[in-house]
Chain A
């Protein structure tokens, strides 16, 4: 059982609407827009959940069959995590970053070929269930670290230029953003370490080499090093938040490259994702 890929345009549209509403909430300081944004996100997530179930009910491994499916799954997790985070932490402003990212993810899905549904033989391996979820969840965590870092930099700038009216009651406390940035980055780093470690072991089994500097491996290593630098500075050197926020932003961009650009490279043995 599978669903026509075009149907993903429905949740994509809902995420777009929701993202615009959350942006409106931050820029125009309208709490009502935030409420409608949450409703749009929820509606989109419900449709999206249905489509994901239809697509992956047969074999969950299909999630790693290509960039299209992985991006769709990541978008879904981002939206769900955001909606839960909004409830628990009251960080509505994150919607202005999370929802456009989710929309972008689905856009990547819609743009890339869904292609053949056959699942590469190599994926039929128990490592799959550790390696793939940890890597995908690491991306989700980095997406949130990125959102928090972007909001942090924006808010710090507004506070410095004394444009308080734009901040009060609209953005989460600066300190909370810094903590969110740190925790999501640390969580993502942990998952990515697991992902790279299991990937190496699996590679040894499949290709008889732990590490062969494929574009995917190299790019993930760069991402991993960037987040390692951030965490090192934050924990050991007690670095200030602004430079940390910039490292996180670069780290997330590197993560996007790891995921998208390299994922689309056909020559990579890691081509299925």
Chain B
């Protein structure tokens, strides 16, 4: 059995490549099923987020010629030449460790971010729904969530503010005070703007204005946030009332300029105005930030802040990796012995059957025994059998987690002739004769 992982992430591939690999959630189940229909592939899992595409499969036959690269190509339908240069591949314990590091946020763009935990859980749910999650991957995803939790509780990798949206919310609280008295104006509506607005509304915003070039979209957004849609031409009036302005249009030139802001600032009196410019190219003329009582943050200064807030998180990485290594080792010891389980069981059953048979025979020959004597004979035989086989079996298990499982397995089956029909009648006769001779 092999656990294979392959994928691309924000470090190995530019967004243009990642976009191509991104798998629509509706298609995931179908792709997962197609994968397990391949020969020897027994389990599959896909983790597809905006920062990564990763494929995890369990292969049962130990075939070295099964290349996970090909599986990625098949799963995504993207040409091998496009993917190959960006692809990383991990196997067995390393593959497990990789997923654990991903889940603990050590592999994320924003170190320690928590969203990834939900994404791993969702990926597992999708695979479970598609019935491609077997014993190994179920345990793997459970352990990944556990590693993610341990990393966040035992280290401070998730300490401080993280996402751009949460920084924006903290800042708005810092500048404008009580969020329940805060009015927000959103100009244009990108994804981050919407996320930021969501966070602000969650913290109890008093009022929301939404301005957009197309009023219908503004109206739709306004409905979902309980706000008021206004045309772009009215933003100056709205800015007099607003405390927080989030700009994220696709306009090629600034739409909020310094001259038009002067009267706005004057009309606002002593109240501070927090302007968040999430647009690239920028929506707000930088000169607006020089006006009194206006605090202008563009995407760069916010991202610097995020990076600043994260400063010190890198120091937690070695400890997080250590935790992931520990969990991965433990996981792999378990997973590697999975192949041995049938053989070990068979061996134990054989030994037990032999013991029972011989015991019955001996008891029959010995005539009347007290229950105490019978009990001790039972214990004696049991201890002998266990004493003989337990040690070697443990050692085989240990070898399996080092990767030598297959070789030891075949030797074990050969030595104990497990692949031949058991307990030939001739054997029994021989044993009997031996026993008689001893007597």
Q: B-contacting residues of A (Cβ < 8 Å)? A: 156, 159-160, 162, 164-165, 167-168, 171, 173-176, 178-179, 182, 234, 238-244
Contacts and interface: CB of A to CB of B under 8 A. Distances in A.
Nearest to B271: A175
Contacts of B178: 173
B309 to A, nearest CB: 6
Given A164-B167, A182-B270, A241 B293 contact: yes
6 contacts: A175-B176, A179-B177, A238-B267, A241-B292, A241-B293, A244-B270
A175 B293 contact: no
A165 B292 contact: no
A174 B305 contact: no
A191 B268 CA distance: 29
A265 to B, nearest CB: 37
B173 interface: yes
Contacts of A238: 266-270
Given A162-B304, A165-B309, A240-B292, A174 B174 contact: yes
Interface size class of chain B, counting residues whose CB lies under 8 Å from the partner chain: 20 to 34
A242 B293 contact: yes
Given A167-B174, A168-B161, A175-B177, A162 B270 contact: no
Nearest to B306: A164
A173 B269 contact: no
Contacts of B173: 173
A176 B292 contact: no
A173 B180 CA distance: 14
Interface string B281-299: 0000000010011010100
Interface centre among B266, B267, B293, B297 (most CB of A within 10 A): B293
Nearest to A175: B177
Contacts of B293: 240-242
A162 B305 contact: yes
Interface of B, helix, strand, loop or mixed by DSSP: helix
Nearest to B293: A240
Contacts of B289: 160
B161 A234 contact: no
Interface of B: 161, 167, 170-171, 173-178, 243, 265-272, 289, 292-293, 295, 297, 301, 304-305, 308-309
B270 A241 contact: yes
Contacts of B295: 159-160
Q: Which 10 A-B pairs have the closest CB atoms?
A: A238-B269, A175-B177, A173-B177, A240-B292, A241-B270, A162-B301, A164-B305, A176-B177, A174-B175, A240-B293
Nearest to B295: A159
A175 B170 contact: no
Contacts of A162: 297, 301, 304-305
Contacts of A164: 167, 171, 174, 305, 308-309
A160 B266 CA distance: 19
Contacts of B301: 162
B270 A234 contact: yes
A51 to B, nearest CB: 38
B335 to A, nearest CB: 43
Contact of A240 (B243, B265, B305): B265
B245 to A, nearest CB: 15
Contacts of A160: 289, 295
A241 B272 contact: yes
A165 B307 CA distance: 11
Nearest to B292: A240
B272 A174 contact: yes
Nearest to B265: A240
Given A178-B272, A238-B266, A240-B265, A168 B308 contact: no
A177 to B, nearest CB: 9
